[in-house]
Amino acid sequence: MTLDNAFARVSDFEPVREELIETRRYLHAHPELSFQEAETAKYVADKLEGWGFDVTRNVGGHGVVARLTAGTSTKGVAIRADIDALPIQEETGVDYASLTPGKMHACGHDGHTTMLLGAAQYLARTKRFDGTVTLIFQPAEEAGVGSGAQAMIADGLFERFPFDAIFGLHNHPGAPAGNWLMRSGPMMAAADTVKITITGKGGHASRPHLTVDPIVIACNLVVSMQSIVARNIDPTQTAVITVGVIKAGETSNVIPNTATLSLSVRSFEPGIRKILETRIRKLSTAVAEGHDATCVVDYLHGYPVVVNSETETEFARSVAEELVGTDKVSTCHLIPGSEDFSYYLEHKPGSFLRLGNGLDSQILHSSKYNFNDESLTVGAAMWARLTERFLS
């Protein structure tokens, strides 16, 4: 038996292509937001139980963990898919569009879930591996804080369902469907959110000398913050500070008492993450005090950096190259978006992969985004083959 025939191939999933598309489109039409994924979790768990998996429901909320053992090895591998949707009004115009106003799968989690279900069905039927595969269907990836990964870990994921390494993926708009992108080390950014409240002294717009204008201070601070990355971070490194919100005042002839700024801060190294926080805090205080105002900085740490381990990433690369050919596997650039898969990687070795969603795909979180069904068989085959190879 050749290496190609010994493990799962994309062609093995052609007979179930339409079934995968039907599953994905059902999930697309029935989106549920973070922490509300009860029906999605039930749909997933029922399928897995029907295929013979040992299924545990309600792990860290609506999380589902399914395990299947074959052979005698104690080795284990885990694969994770996210199941939640976003609070966006869909504008795709497809006939399987969201049936719930204001909610849609605008990030492709419907596709991620379907691909892992496809692999699960195949693995349950063939059982061509030696060890235990753990499939994690995670809620609340989009939560930003207190996410599904954190909740499942706190609920004893690693202790209750032991495994040696973990893998996951996200679709990648702008890359050809069926192509894989991988990267060892830092890959996706840490994402922190900052709210800065500046308190001055309000008054009449015609008498600014009797006030301490928080809007002027806020504008000064926005401009001053542009120097943090430019003059504090090594030019060979990457960091982002974006002021997304400025709020102050209600009318043109009144200087308000307060102004608030909301920032998104992205970084790829723990040391740089710390520098950014330190400089934002110091600069905010200094600018406010320099204008006889005060400020309060609420710094909320979001998801940490996704750091892929080298061994597992190279293993995944070899599996992908076997599956689709070397010309369809490339190195991924740094991605300033964030992912709570990072929490798993703080505890276990593993790798987070990207799967092309098409050159003309709408961007993630767009009301017109749609997962590319052409990737379903490739993704399912990847997870099946990776499991067989890891547990061979």
Which single residue is written with the structure tokens 């070795």? 349
Catalytic residue among 84, 110, 312, 388: 84
Q: State the DSSP H helix or E strand holding residue 37, giving kind and residue range, or none if neither.
A: none
Active site residue 141: yes
Torsions phi, psi for 174 (to 5 deg): 100, -15
Torsions phi, psi for 296 (to 5 deg): -120, 130
| Packing angle of the helix pair 17-29, 376-390 (nearest 10 deg) | 110
Q: Name every residue whose Cβ is closer than 8 Å to that of residue 227 and which is 6 or more positions away in sequence.
A: none
Tokens of 185: 């080390």
Give the three-class secondary structure for 43: helix
Cβ atoms 38, 44 nearer than 8 A: no
Handedness of CA 92, 96, 98, 104 (dihedral sign): negative
Comparing C-alpha atoms, which of 6, 129, 136 is closest to residue 70? 129
Opening angle at CA 170, ends 28 and 337, nearest 5 = 110
Which single residue is written with the structure tokens 């004893």? 156
The whole-angstrom separation of Cα 216 and Cα 282 is: 18
Torsions phi, psi for 292 (to 5 deg): 65, 30
Q: What is the DSSP string of 104-115?
A: B--SSHHHHHHH
Catalytic residue among 32, 82, 90, 141: 141
| Packing angle of the helix pair 17-29, 109-126 (nearest 10 deg) | 140
The one-letter code for the residue type at 30 is H
Active site residue 84: yes
The one-letter code for the residue type at 45 is A
Give catalytic residues, as residue numbers: 84, 141
